[in-house]
Structure formats: structure tokens, C-alpha cells
Amino acid sequence: MSTQTVTIHSLGAEGDGIANGPDGPIYVPFSLPGETLAIAKVGNQGTIMSIAAAAPERVEPPCRHFGPDGVGGTCGGCALQHMEKTAYNAYKRGLVIAALKARGLDVPVGALVEAEPGQRRRLVYTVRNREKGLVFGFNQPGTHQVVPIEDCPITTASILARFPALKALCSALAGGSDAFRMTVIETVTGLDVSFDGVRGGLKERERRVLSETTLKLRGIARVSVNGEIVIEPQKPLLDFAGAMVSPPPGAFTQATREAEEAMADLVIAHLGKAKKVADLFAGIGTFALRIARKAQVLAVESDEKAIKALDAAARATQGLKPVKAERRDLFRRPLMAFELKGLDAVVFDPPRAGAEAQCHELAKSDVKTIIAVSCNALTLARDLTILTAGGYRITSITPIDQFLWSPHVEIVATLSKG
């Protein structure tokens, strides 16, 4: 380890400041462009020791867990709380612009749909056993040390109000020395709490204590351990434009309702008068069930529990157009060009790896309208390159901030052919 003074010239894709060093770039978390810092350097990583000249964009972080002196390093949940809002929004939009330009896509990028504090309805915490009992929180960056969370400015008020209940549920699990995860989703009927990675499973005494504890608490819809439902006082439900979906334990959902609705509004608007639509990587029906208000839908998803939840919701909701739910691994078996015939539009929202194989087939198709939703600007840019090579024209790019004070950004891209 060495100590040196550096000047930050830009922010990287992970939110770290970048300085030039004699051996290449040095990455310094919680720094900002234009700052002069004294850092402790190990390899190509730097830790702020002191700030000689702060950037005008540096602000006081709103969360006491973020770190001492506003330079982070305590709680690993956020990376950019020290950055003024206008500069932060420009950084997030810039991530999308840079990813597109790297692929030769010089297209206009819309203004960032902003996130606000208190919107995060889905969180994944680390739980670890300590001498004083089990605690939950986020890992300190670069360590396995869990920082207990007492309050959190990104989290919805409903989840914050139930922190004591979540602590009680954690304490009901005896737990060993190994850490495990607790996924919390705010639903219409209460919190859906899913513990995963609990080694050795659930002992009978733990099951009983967990059930008894849950029944004493208010606002807990369901508790599951390693995918098994332990107790369900209320079926957890998510509202997708009037279609009520009961997600499987720990299911993927959009992290904030506000971002979900912004993405869905863009999808629905660009579909126009489309009558037959495929929703690929459909999950539990975030888009498919909304689209079914106006068009027939083929919903394709590889996760069996997710597609069953989507199908059950479609069958139970009145006023929808026909929804065909199909389980299929689109990475290994993408819908082929001939299978896409007859569709007016395709929506796809893949994991971070993107939809490369599927885009090659879409590029050969005659589908007039494509809407790509992505949480990874780099893989989206790759996929858009494939589609534009196949004759599609990008008509809009909209970045959406769903993960406040993180370097992650959602994007909705719309494309047309013909």
C-alpha cells in the first residue's frame, strides 16, 4: 500500500472516480471529477484519506450509514449519495450515451426519468449472526461485514415502519455463523419476506418460532425459507394495472413502482394499435398483463414459478385479451424468425446478459415494432446494434433511474421497421 495525491478526471461505469497513475488508471470510490485527494493505493484501487480540493458537486449525504465525512465506505447499499442531483442525473444519462456511442450508435437519448427517495419497494439484505443476535443490512464495500441498517432514505415508508418486525423475523431464525439473504417486497397486502441461503434448512423449532412470530406481527403477508412457504397470513399481491399477481417467494420484481409504471407507460404508448404482441423474458407479467388490456399476448419466460404466477393472474382477471403463457429458455431456444410471423410487436426485458440470440432472430423478422427494456446499457447497445443491422430504426431511448444513488440505470428503447 502506498499513499499519494491524485486528481480525479472522470467517473467510471461503477461510479468510481478515475485518476491517472504511472501504471494506469486508479479507481477511487466516493470521489468526484475535479477533486484533488490524498489516497491509500493498493493495486489500481484507491481509498480516500483526505480531500484537498472538493468538487462543487459534492454534497452532504442524506444517510448516516453512507460513511464518515461524506466519502462513503460504511454501507455498501449506495455509491453516489455525495453527488449533487443535476450532476448525478447527467452522469446516469451519460452512461447510456457512452454505451451507445461505443457501438457506433449516435442516437438522441431522452432526459432521465428521475428517482426520488422513499421509493424502493424491493430490497435484498444480508443477515448475519452476532453475539447480540441476528442483524440485517448491507455489506460494507469489499468485505463480508454487515452494516446494520436502522433507517434508509431509499426505502418505502411501509418497509421502514416494519423494520422492528423484520428484526423479529431474523431473530426467530437460530442461524449459524454463515450469512444468508432476506428479500423484502412491499405488496398490496403486506410484506413478502423470503430468506434464502439458510444452511441446513429450517429445523422444526425454528419453523414453529418463525410462524408464531409472524402471527404476532402486523403487515407481514408471507414468510418463506429457501423457497418454501413457512406461513402465509395473506397472499402477497402485486397490482399490474388491475391484474393482481401473487409472486413466487423472492421473485424478481421491478425495484420501484414508479420506475415500473414509467417503463410500462412507454411500452404501452409505443405499441400503438398493435393487436398481437409477444412479451419475451416476461417474468411474472409486469408488461404482459398490462398489454393484455389492449392486445393478444404471447408471454414467454424460462422460470416455471414466474410463468405460472403470470398465467394464474391472466386467468383470474376479467377484461383481458387472450394471454398465452409459455415456458421457454430464450437464451438456448429463442423464438425463431418464422415463429415471429403474425406478430405486430415484440417487447423484451432480459436479465443483465441481454438478449443476443433472440435479437439475431428478431433482426431477420418482419415484426414492425420492437421495444427493448434493459438494466444494462452495455448489453442493450450490443442488442440494438444487431437489430439496426437487420433494418430496424431506433425511434427513442429513455433512461430511467430505478436504483437511486447507484451506478445502475434502466433503459427503454423503441424501434420500428418499414
Residue with cell 398493435: 274
Q: Which secondary-structure segment (H or E) carries 228?
A: strand 228-231
301 labelled as ligand-binding?
A: yes
Residue with cell 418497509: 159
Task: Phi first, then psi: give them for residue 120, nearest 5 degrees.
Answer: -70, 115
DSSP-based helix, strand, coil % in the chain, nearest 5: 25, 30, 45
Q: How far apart are CA 353 and CA 385, in angstroms?
A: 15
3-state secondary structure of 361: helix
The greatest distance separating any two alpha carbons of the chain, rounded to the nearest whole angstrom, comes to 66
Give the dihedral of Cα atoms 208, 211, 213, 218; nearest 10 deg. Answer: -170
Q: How far apart are CA 118 and CA 114, in angstroms?
A: 13
Q: How far apart are CA 34 and CA 11, in angstroms?
A: 10
349 labelled as ligand-binding?
A: yes
Q: How far apart are CA 392 and CA 131, in angstroms?
A: 59
Q: How far apart are CA 408 and CA 415, in angstroms?
A: 23
Inter-residue contact 207 to 230 (CB < 8 Å): yes
3-state secondary structure of 211: helix
User: Interhelix angle for 356-363 vs 377-389, to 10°?
Assistant: 20
Q: Decide if 375 is catalytic.
A: yes
- Characterise 160 by phi-psi region: left (phi > 0), alpha (psi -120 to 50), beta (else): alpha
Question: What is each CA distance from 60 to 36, 54, 119, 127, in whole angstroms?
Answer: 18, 12, 20, 28
Q: Give me the DSSP letters along 277-327.
A: EEEES-TTTTTHHHHTTTSEEEEEES-HHHHHHHHHHHHH-TTPPPEEEEE
Catalytic residue among 75, 78, 152, 375: 375
The candidate with the shortest Cα–Cα distance to 55, out of 20, 28, 73, 22, is 28
Copy the grid coordinates of residue 288: 404482459
Copy the grid coordinates of residue 118: 422513499
Active site residues: 375
Binding annotation for S-adenosyl-L-methionine: 254, 281, 301, 349
Binding annotation: 254, 281, 301, 349
